[in-house]
């Protein structure tokens, strides 16, 4: 039977167009597409990964109406610059009532399972990083009027960003974009998140045969996502009153927001009114890119917010120990090139440090992140030993995977197998086709 398809592709290259868009996704095989086998967590629909034009794409097969909605929401999230997978195509298969949603594969990201599976059992500090990242993502979405509707660990991907994790929305099937969200909508979304996160953590604990005694603790941790969310939301939205002489307080608040990575776009101090002679502070807060922006200004380096934070601290400590460079004026640049102390730091500290760290980790992830790992591990080991242990010791710890278990650098274990994406074997392809819509579980 001949099938037809209605294609909408944002980058219609020859390789993309050549894919067998008229076929059901389970019928794709390696004679017609360069398939890459990858383990995903629990999912409702069949998701497969294809290499074309030198990149990797995720293709999800789902009912037509839902697919169109998801495509539209993902495009909307992209326009708002929110952390979500990027939709690049929607293919309708009317005869089958299906659609294929194509998203760009999110590089260097992984499912929470991969991290929790690879860490020694019961590391609440590591889970806290995941949960912080999710609370932060939900706040970002809500600030932009996006109701997720199905926020769960399985619908989130994580990537590393300095000592923090960045959470990405991957499944927007139930999402809606509004002008703003009511407190009721936010509360509902948050409730869904807490419930799903508790469920996700428990499922994994059961699957891994973890002792029942930790179940309560897991549920408790999931519940604590709500206050994390609330305090962040509150900080970004409260409108405190200040006396005119308390302007220093205003500066302190701005600094606090900056420390959390929020760049402040506008500060508005207006009379509180009705007989109150204090001022009401409203702060317009932009994206979480305060340190990233600073580092770019100073050094022309574009990295993640969490990475920029670490690098700026490293630069500052370099400058503090090289005062002679900071006082030098750049003879040529006239402000358009990094200052001499910054250039020197890049050449003598950052570049060699990045390449040494990257090598010692086994070329996993990216060199900037590897350098952030080196900084963190050196700091933690030095703290443990009460003296500066130096780079060599920290590099050795990274190379032998003996970094402190609760360190952010430990997450490198989750990245390990994202780097090599093997072509599937014939048996794997056949098995995937037989499974049809069955979920692939990452164990
Ligand atoms: N663009 C992408 N990049 C990386 N992984 C992806 C991408 N899209 C989907 N995945 C993986 O596939 C899984 C299932 O995708 P999801 O959209 O949640 O499907 P479902 O609607 O079936 O739940 C995700 O949890 C994720 O691991
Ligand atoms: Mg999903």
CATH code for position 222: 1.10.510
Q: What is the pLDDT of residue 421?
A: 46
Q: How far is the CA of 195 from the centre of ligand 2 (A)?
A: 15
* 338 belongs to a structural domain: yes
Of the three residues 190, 218, 235, the one that is the final residue of a domain is 235
* 273 belongs to a structural domain: yes
Q: Is 394 exposed, middle or buried (0-12, 13-18, 19+ CB in 10 A)?
A: buried
Give the Cα separation of 134 and 128 in Å (integer). Answer: 10
- Are residue 354 and residue 367 in the same domain, yes or no? yes
Task: Give exposure, 298-307, as e/b (b: 16+ Cβ within 10 Å).
Answer: bbebebbbbb
Q: How far is the CA of 204 from the centre of ligand 1 (A)?
A: 18
Q: Which domain holds residue 397?
A: 290-302+312-414
Q: What is the pLDDT of residue 165?
A: 96
* 66 belongs to a structural domain: yes
Look at the chain and report how many structural domains it folds into.
4
- Are residue 10 and residue 100 in the same domain, yes or no? yes
* 366 belongs to a structural domain: yes
Give the Cα separation of 125 and 134 in Å (integer). Answer: 15
Give the list of residues 6+ apart from residue 204 with CB closer than 8 angstroms, or none. 112, 113, 116, 117
* 440 belongs to a structural domain: no
Give the Cα separation of 264 and 287 in Å (integer). Answer: 9
- Are residue 284 and residue 321 in the same domain, yes or no? no
- Are residue 263 and residue 179 in the same domain, yes or no? no
User: Which two structure tokens, joined as six digits, stand for 285?
Assistant: 């807060």
- Are residue 119 and residue 90 in the same domain, yes or no? no
Task: Give exposure, 103-125, as e/b (b: 16+ Cβ within 10 Å).
Answer: bbbbeebbbbbbbbebbeeeeee
3-state secondary structure of 147: strand
Element (H, E) at 325: helix 323-327
Instruction: Read off φ and ψ for residue 139, nearest 5 degrees.
Output: -60, -45
Q: What is the pLDDT of residue 151?
A: 96
Cα dihedral value 255, 137, 160, 222, nearest 10: 110
Give the list of residues 6+ apart from residue 38 with CB closer than 8 angstroms, or none. 49, 421
- Are residue 171 and residue 227 in the same domain, yes or no? yes
Q: What is the pLDDT of residue 336?
A: 64
* 1 belongs to a structural domain: no
Positions of the chain with pLDDT lower than 50, given as ranges: 1, 419-424, 429, 432-443
Q: DSSP string spanning 94-138? A: GGGTEEEEEEE--TT-B-HHHHHHHSPS--HHHHHHHHHHHHHHH
- Are residue 186 and residue 137 in the same domain, yes or no? yes
Ligand that comes closest to the CA of residue 25 = 1
- Are residue 22 and residue 37 in the same domain, yes or no? yes
* Residues in the chain, overall count: 443
Classify strands 176-177 and 146-147 as parallel, antiparallel or unpaired: antiparallel
Of the three residues 225, 253, 288, the one that is the final residue of a domain is 288
pTM over 0.75: yes
**Residue whose CB lies within 8 A of the most ligand 1 atoms, among 26, 42, 170, for a mutation test:** 170
Place of tokens 């500052």: 316
- Are residue 92 and residue 186 in the same domain, yes or no? no
Distances (CA, A) of 245 to 36, 93, 248, 249, 278: 63, 66, 8, 9, 10
Q: What is the pLDDT of residue 420?
A: 45
Q: Which residues have any ligand 1 atom within 6 Å of their CB?
A: 40-41, 43-45, 47, 58, 60, 85, 103-106, 109, 111, 154-155, 157, 170-171, 173
Q: How far is the CA of 340 from the centre of ligand 1 (A)?
A: 45
Nearest CA to ligand 1 atom 23: 43
* 94 belongs to a structural domain: yes
- Are residue 266 and residue 200 in the same domain, yes or no? no
Q: What is the pLDDT of residue 431?
A: 53
Nearest CA to ligand 1 atom 1: 105
Write the CATH number for 89.
Answer: 3.30.200.20
- Are residue 128 and residue 222 in the same domain, yes or no? yes
3-state secondary structure of 418: helix
- Are residue 259 and residue 219 in the same domain, yes or no? no
* 353 belongs to a structural domain: yes
Q: How far is the CA of 214 from the centre of ligand 1 (A)?
A: 28
Ligand that comes closest to the CA of residue 43 = 1
């Amino acid at each position: 039977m001949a099938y037809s398809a209605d294609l909408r592709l944002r980058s219609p290259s020859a390789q993309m167009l050549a894919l067998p868009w008229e076929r059901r996704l389970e019928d794709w095989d390696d004679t017609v597409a360069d398939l890459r086998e990858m383990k995903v967590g629990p999912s409702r629909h069949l998701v497969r990964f294809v290499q074309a034009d030198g990149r990797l794409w995720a293709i999800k097969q789902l009912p037509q109406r839902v697919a169109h909605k998801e495509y539209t929401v993902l495009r909307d999230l992209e326009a708002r610059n929110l952390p979500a997978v990027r939709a690049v195509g929607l293919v309708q298969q009317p005869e089958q009532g299906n659609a294929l949603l194509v998203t760009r594969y999110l590089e260097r990201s992984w499912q929470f399972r991969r991290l929790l599976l690879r860490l020694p059992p019961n590391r609440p500090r590591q889970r806290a990083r995941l949960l912080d990242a999710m609370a932060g993502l939900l706040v970002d979405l809500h600030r932009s009027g996006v109701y997720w509707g199905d926020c769960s660990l399985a619908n989130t991907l994580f990537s590393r960003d300095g000592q923090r994790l960045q959470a990405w929305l991957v499944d927007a099937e139930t999402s809606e974009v509004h002008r703003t969200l009511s407190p009721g909508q936010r509360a509902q979304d948050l409730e869904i998140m807490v419930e799903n996160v508790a469920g996700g953590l428990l499922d994994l604990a059961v699957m891994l045969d973890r002792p029942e005694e930790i179940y309560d603790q897991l549920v408790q941790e999931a519940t604590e996502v709500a206050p994390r969310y609330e305090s962040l939301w509150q900080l970004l939205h409260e409108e405190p009153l200040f006396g005119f002489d308390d302007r220093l307080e205003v500066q302190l608040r701005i600094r606090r927001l900056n420390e959390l990575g929020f760049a402040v776009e506008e500060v508005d101090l207006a009379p509180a009114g009705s007989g109150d002679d204090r001022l009401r502070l409203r702060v317009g807060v932009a994206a979480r890119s305060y340190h990233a922006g600073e580092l770019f200004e100073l050094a022309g380096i574009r990295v993640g917010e969490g990475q920029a934070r670490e690098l700026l601290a490293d630069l500052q400590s370099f400058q503090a120990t090289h005062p002679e460079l900071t006082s030098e004026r750049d003879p040529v640049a006239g402000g358009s090139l990094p200052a001499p102390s910054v250039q020197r730091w890049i050449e003598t500290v950052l570049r060699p440090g990045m390449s040494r760290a990257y090598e010692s980790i086994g070329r996993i992830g990216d060199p900037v992140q590897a350098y952030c790992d080196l900084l963190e591990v050196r700091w933690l080991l030095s703290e443990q030993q009460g003296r500066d242990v130096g780079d060599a010791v920290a590099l050795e710890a990274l190379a032998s995977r003996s970094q402190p278990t609760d360190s952010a650098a430990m997450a490198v274990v989750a990245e390990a197998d994202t780097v090599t994406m093997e072509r599937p074997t014939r048996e794997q392809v056949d098995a995937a086709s037989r499974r049809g819509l069955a979920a692939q579980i990452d164990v």
